[in-house]
Amino acid sequence: MTSIYDAIAADHDKHRKLLDTIAETSGDTPERREAWAAFYTDIKSHSAAEEETFYSKLMSETWGQDAARHSVHEHAEIDEILEELNGMDMASPGWLTRFKTMKHDYEHHMEEEEDEVFARARKVIGKEQNDSFGKAFLDRKKTEMGLVEEKKEDHLAD
């Protein structure tokens, strides 16, 4: 089985690679579009699953409330930039500038989770629960993958 920490870290590793691929491409190319689509879908499902399975558990501790709120707030900020980027011309200099801001913010978020949040979370989600939380995260992420387009449409309707 996969622990919750390994599942989240594996996604982060995949996201870092996709971010680098996108940053290394230029213009509105098939390579950039493919990497962007993969990143967009994966980060949206990752964030939702993480909030529902990981951060909801951390909220049970007083210190966890602030950590969870901070991370969920960062998710919301990154989500807004993702949607903004979806509405922009991928070939424009403005798209790349905005992408680089999101990339920087998300890389900071991932480091913060892995370095600070994980250490504290292990006090709440110990070894005996690692795999069950990992399974719950992966199951929820799979469900969320199927909801990305529906949620995107709902976002556009708002």
Q: Which helix (H) or strand (E) holds 115?
A: none
The per-residue b/e assignment along 47-69, b for 16 or more CB within 10 angstroms, e otherwise, is bbbbbbbbbebbeeeeebeebbe
Distance between CA atoms of residues 58 and 78, nearest Å: 21
Show the low-confidence residues of the chain (pLDDT under 70). Answer: 149, 151-158
Distance between CA atoms of residues 62 and 72, nearest Å: 16
pLDDT of the residue at 132: 93
Could you report the per-residue pLDDT of 123-135, keeping only the tens digit for each?
888 888 889 999 9
Structure tokens at 44: 């949206």
pLDDT of the residue at 154: 58
Q: Do 89 and 28 meet the contact criterion of CB atoms below 8 Å apart?
A: yes
pLDDT of the residue at 151: 64
Q: pTM of this prediction?
A: 0.90
